[in-house]
Amino acid sequence: MNEYKVRTSSPEDTMKISEKLGMLAEEQDVFILEGDLGAGKTTFTKGLAKGLGVNRVVNSPTFNIIKEYKGRIPLYHMDVYRLAESEEDLGFDEYFYGSGVTVVEWAHLIEHYLPSSLLKISLFHEGGNNRGIVLEPKGERYIRLCEELLKNESISN
């Protein structure tokens, strides 16, 4: 299985990578974000939004669950933390197979509803402002996307 790891040492670093991902993103891309509280999932999403040309400030959608932003293509930002194990279907497919890019924080909570092809991004605290970011592409589209994204980055692993 393909897996790529990068390290960042500031929120700006993390956003630089996700901004690039946002520039490469296409309609119906699904990115899932995993990581402890404060690991940087929302920070990552902010950079992604910038790369998609979103001008509004992206905040954690914890109380809305799903927020939509206008960019070059729409960004659907979901934080399903509050759903816990309720297994509630909020019409996720409308987003996954819609006309924008979907980002899901805490996606394992809606595992049953996720498409089989997606990019999993896990963020880890590595002391201070250091973060490890592991990219696990599922499906050809995302393998190519990761290779394009990391072409000029130093990749460990």
Summarize as ranges the residues that interact with ligand ADP (CB under 6 A).
Answer: 8-11, 13-14, 35, 37-43, 60, 129, 131
Beta carbon of residue 12, minimum distance to Mg ion (angstroms, whole number): 17
In 27-151, which ranges are E strands?
Answer: 30-34, 66-69, 75-79, 101-105, 118-125, 131-138
- Estimate the share of the chain in helix, then strand, then coil, as percent rounded to the nearest 5: 30, 25, 40
**Closer residue to ligand ADP (CB): 79 or 136:** 79
CA distance 118 to 143: 10
Q: Among Mg ion, ligand ADP, none, what binds residue 43 when CB lies within 5 to 8 Å by partner kind?
A: ligand ADP
Instruction: Give least dist CB 150 to Mg ion, A.
Output: 24
Residue with CB nearest ligand ADP?
A: 40
Nearer to ligand ADP, 18 or 29 (CB): 18
Assigned token pair, 93: 């497919």
Residue 64's binding partner among ligand ADP, Mg ion, none (Cβ under 5 to 8 angstroms by kind) is none
Which option in Mg ion, ligand ADP, none does residue 37 bind, with CB closer than 5 to 8 A by kind?
ligand ADP
What residues contact 24, with CB distance under 8 A and at least 6 apart?
A: 51, 145, 148, 149
Please, which residue, 11 or 98, has the CB nearer to ligand ADP? Answer: 11
Q: Which residues bind Mg ion (CB under 5 A)?
A: 41-42, 60
Residue that has been written with the tokens 């799903």 in this structure: 66
Give me the sign of the Cα torsion angle 125, 127, 129, 134: negative
CB of 34 to ligand ADP, least distance (A): 9
Decide: helix, strand or coil at residue 90.
Answer: coil
Partner from ligand ADP, Mg ion, none contacting 102, C-beta within 5 to 8 A by type: none
